């Protein structure tokens, strides 16, 4: 029996400006950039468990599954930079 890595959780440090964009809220308290928006931005990449919060430090967390982890991480960073500004 041999174990293989199937998924890895990554974290990307966020700048103050990027964290502020993610923390912005509508007047009713809903987030301006929701988890659903980020999920749709990253589709159809094999990425899950997206999380960011000023409570855990200025990081964007996500889990990549599958065999193309390096290429997937590069694409995630590229798409986040387009949405939030340079990482």
Where do the structural domains in the chain lie, given as residue ranges?
10-84
pLDDT tens by residue, 16-69: 999 999 989 999 999 999 999 999 999 999 999 999 986 778 999 999 999 899
| Distances, alpha carbon 53 to alpha carbons 4, 42, 61, 79, in Å | 30, 18, 9, 19
pTM of the predicted model over 0.95: no
Decide: helix, strand or coil at residue 76. Answer: helix
């Amino acid at each position: 029996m041999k174990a293989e890595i199937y998924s890895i959780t990554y974290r990307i440090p966020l700048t103050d400006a990027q964290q502020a964009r993610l923390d912005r809220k509508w007047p009713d308290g809903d987030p301006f950039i929701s988890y659903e928006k980020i999920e749709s931005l990253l589709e159809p990449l094999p990425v899950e468990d997206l999380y960011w919060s000023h409570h855990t430090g200025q990081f964007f967390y996500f889990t990549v599954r599958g065999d193309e982890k390096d290429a997937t991480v590069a694409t995630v960073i590229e798409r986040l930079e387009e949405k939030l500004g340079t990482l």
